[in-house]
């Protein structure tokens, strides 16, 4: 099984956000875990927000970043996904950065791991298998 992990799921796993334990089994069973290169910026930005809000000390943010970066086996170039992601975004009126994850999942017949409900809804509409915590 291939898995595409988005930044929300990755940060959720590392920070033990309630519900993120649902991602353990798919990650353990995955033969390949991939993410678009945008993943790096999104993760850094998410952890920066925790630091800026003084919710986590700098050392914990840095440690979390190191842990998150070990989750994907491979990082894919967004430029290789861009045309298809742009078209998908325009057609579904959804942000391109999310579409990059969807295109990557579709191309690799992968399960998408996310905490983003809107992204999960579009994945389901596109018949991409998605794992998201139940609320």
Q: pLDDT tens digits for 60-101? A: 999 999 999 999 999 999 999 999 999 999 999 999 999 999
Contact between residue 1 and residue 29 where contact means Cβ atoms under 8 Å apart? yes
The CATH code for residues 2-131 is 3.40.50.1010
* Tens of pLDDT, residues 107-124: 999 999 999 999 999 999
- State whether residue 83 is helix, strand or coil: helix
Q: Which pLDDT band, with edges at 50, 70 and 90, does 134 fall under? A: confident
Full-model pTM: 0.95
Quote the DSSP letter at residue 10. Answer: H
């Amino acid at each position: 099984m291939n898995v595409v992990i988005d930044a929300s799921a990755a940060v959720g796993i590392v920070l033990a956000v309630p519900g993120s334990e649902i991602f353990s089994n798919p990650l353990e069973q995955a033969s390949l875990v991939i993410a678009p290169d945008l993943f790096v910026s999104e993760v850094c930005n998410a952890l920066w927000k925790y630091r800026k809000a003084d919710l986590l000390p700098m050392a914990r943010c840095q440690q979390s970043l190191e842990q998150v970066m070990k989750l994907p086996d491979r990082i894919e170039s967004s430029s290789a996904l861009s045309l298809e992601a742009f078209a998908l975004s325009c057609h579904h009126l959804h942000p391109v950065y999310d579409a990059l994850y969807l295109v990557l999942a579709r191309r690799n017949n992968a399960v998408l791991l996310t905490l983003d409900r809107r992204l999960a809804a579009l994945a389901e509409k596109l018949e991409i298998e998605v794992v998201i915590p139940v609320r």
